[in-house]
Structure 1
Amino acid sequence: MQLVVARIGRAHGIKGEVTVEVRTDEPELRLAPGAVLATDPASAGPLTIATGRVHSGRLLLRFEGVTDRNGAEALRNTLLIADVDPAELPEGEDEYYDHQLIDLDVVTADGAEVGRITEISHLPTQDLFIVERPDGSEVMIPFVEEIVTEIDLAEQRAVIDPPPGLIDDRAEIASSRDESGESGESGGDEA
């Protein structure tokens, strides 16, 4: 199975290094020196990682055969793809690969059907399940412990405990205004 593990960004310096947008929870394994990665577009690869280092919070990679800025810039926006054994599981107990979660049925704790996971959106703050509902509409469900209470790969389902308004229209609206409508300020000048 092939998984996208990174996207190549801008060239860094003049010796062929590039910045990368990491798309794996295991960069030390997937993006280590010596790793051979397929590419999208395929014409850019395969690429073998020569060196990797962190600079100012960003991962920088250099590939064998890419020795200057022009070569590095030519790789911009290329996706790096690793071959992963489908039976391989992440090291952490509550960690999952995207391919394990796609197509899981999503149900509430009381068994009500919500839909099916069609995509995982990786945002800087959290991941989101994109769930297709039976009527064809989509709902986004934050993949956080408070909402996604159970992932059961054997039963192919994700159990959620959604807050009001997440998957229905029963949102509880709280107002910060004083219900009497008074602003608390006096309207005239006193001398």
Structure 2
Amino acid sequence: MQMIVAAIASLAEDNGSSQAAISRRIEAEARGDLPASHPALVAAHLARMSAAGELVAVAGGKYALPPPPPAPPAPESPIEEDDDLADEEPTEPVPPPAKRGRGRPPKVRPPGFPSAGARGAAVAGQPAAPRRRGRPPKPRDPLAPPKIPRPRGRPRKNPLPEGMAPRPRPVPPTSTKPRPQFAEVGFV
């Protein structure tokens, strides 16, 4: 890394130095004591140093040293500072700006526009109720007849209309003779 910075500083090109020029300069200074993978190492170091801000990547694949930081302003004399502070009122520190929430910000409404927010914003003076998950229910019609719940289970095959009584089943004629048992019929 120090060799790369020294090579760029010694080349001192206006538009930055190319990777090949930096590599040749390092080879000339090292006099053959470099590994075979020297060009790949130079490329990797240049990419890492430019990402870290130690070098500036210029257009055309060239690299340059970053500009020096600006010099701090010279301090004023203490007498002038006291006079300036005496004239000004003490100011409170400025709070940091509020963080923006997730999602799209709300539309800017003109003053006096009713604020019916998309998320059910509270009307002035009323707290907002917590929202439930999912699609909101449809509004109920107060004039609609009451809903009759369906009975449980599978519906009957041929339901009778309202007011009709089921047809009575025919009853088999009863006889006085008892039914024969298995032994009497000959199954045993």
**TM-score normalised by the chain length of structure 2:** 0.20
Larger relative contact order (CA 8 Å, sep ≥ 6): 1
Which structure has greater strand proportion? 1
Larger of the two Rg values belongs to structure: 2
Higher share of residues assigned helix? 2
Compute the TM-score of the two structures, normalised by the length of structure 1. Answer: 0.20
